């Protein structure tokens, strides 16, 4: 009888520890939402580093700029890695989310690309220029077009105020077409001869373009490298959590900087 009771008590104790064991395992899993290129690839490079610290890194790949933030806000992710601060600020304000930067990791220079011309001097009047339509990236694209002398933006409009195609003072005789950011490369490939496009760095890489293919690149000598640096986003209040700090520590290393330099040849630039 005593042996039977002891066995029952031991079984009850073992069963009671199962939820705790699952919770402990879950607590050692860091789930990060990311764009496929280069973000998920950079995260893959730190999996072993995190494993050595006792963490399993789970990467969830997204192909848009909305779901990674909503999933993080709803608690399905521990962090995300796909956006820069201006876009994050815009998203928080528009959607009422509470996501904050935990670290700045890399910068992707915006580029102007074409399937048919190699010099902007050959761009004919009336040509189509495809740009991303979301607030922060449209601003950035238009500033690049102005940098290259293709358009002029109304006085008083800056990165901080935001710029849309409606704020163009002189379009240079070109047809400016804002479209969803992830569709810009396809619009370029399927566009008329002479079309050019301003493409986000990660979407350019996914489409097979590198910085060497660009007709023009965003000037990185100014504030752009920091202002548009891609970040690790987390829920407000979790900037200093153990998971967040482990992820940030694994990413901000000389090894990751070397990986970025050797893998992307200037299309992605570490900012730490």
The pLDDT score that the predictor gives to residue 196 is: 98
| Cis bond before residue 38 (omega within 30° of 0) | yes
Q: How far apart are the C-alpha atoms of 164 and 257, rounded to whole Å?
A: 34
Give me the domains of the chain, ranges plus CATH numbers: 2-108+226-270 (3.40.190.10), 111-219 (3.40.190.10)
The pLDDT score that the predictor gives to residue 23 is: 45
CA dihedral 261, 263, 266, 272 (to 10 degrees): -40
Task: Tell me the pairing of strands 128-132 and 230-235.
Answer: unpaired
The pLDDT score that the predictor gives to residue 253 is: 98
Query: Mean pLDDT in runs of 10 for the chain (272 residues)?
Result: 51 50 67 96 98 98 96 98 93 97 94 97 97 89 95 90 93 97 96 96 90 89 77 98 98 98 91 92
Nearest to 173 by CA among 191, 198, 143, 152: 152
* Element spanning 247, H or E: helix 242-251
The pLDDT score that the predictor gives to residue 12 is: 52
pTM score: 0.72
The pLDDT score that the predictor gives to residue 158 is: 83
Angle, alpha carbons 156-159-161 (nearest 5°): 55
264 contacts 38 by C-beta, under 8 angstroms: yes
């Amino acid at each position: 009888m005593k042996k039977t009771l002891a066995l029952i008590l031991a079984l009850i104790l073992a069963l009671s520890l199962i939820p705790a064991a699952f919770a402990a395992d879950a607590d050692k899993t860091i789930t990060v939402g990311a764009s496929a290129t280069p973000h998920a690839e950079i995260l893959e490079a730190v999996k072993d580093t995190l494993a050595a610290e006792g963490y399993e890194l789970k990467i969830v790949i997204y192909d848009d700029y909305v779901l990674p933030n909503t999933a993080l806000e709803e608690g399905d992710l521990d962090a995300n890695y796909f956006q820069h601060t201006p876009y994050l600020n815009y998203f928080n304000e528009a959607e009422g989310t509470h996501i904050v930067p935990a670290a700045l990791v890399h910068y992707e220079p915006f580029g102007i690309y074409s399937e048919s011309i190699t010099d902007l001097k050959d761009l004919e009047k009336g040509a189509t220029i495809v740009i991303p339509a979301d607030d922060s990236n449209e601003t950035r694209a238009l500033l690049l077009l102005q940098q290259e002398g293709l358009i002029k933006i109304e006085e008083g409009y800056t990165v901080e105020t935001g710029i849309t195609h409606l704020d163009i003072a002189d379009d240079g005789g070109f047809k400016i077409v804002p479209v969803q950011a992830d569709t810009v490369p396809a619009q370029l490939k399927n566009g008329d001869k002479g079309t050019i496009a301003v493409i986000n760095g990660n979407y350019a890489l996914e489409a097979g373009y590198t910085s060497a293919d660009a007709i023009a690149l965003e000037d990185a000598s100014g504030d752009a490298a920091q202002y548009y640096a891609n970040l690790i986003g987390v829920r407000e209040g979790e900037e200093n959590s153990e998971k967040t700090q482990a992820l940030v520590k694994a990413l901000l290393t000389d090894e990751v900087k070397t990986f970025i330099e050797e893998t992307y040849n200037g299309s992605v630039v570490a900012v730490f």
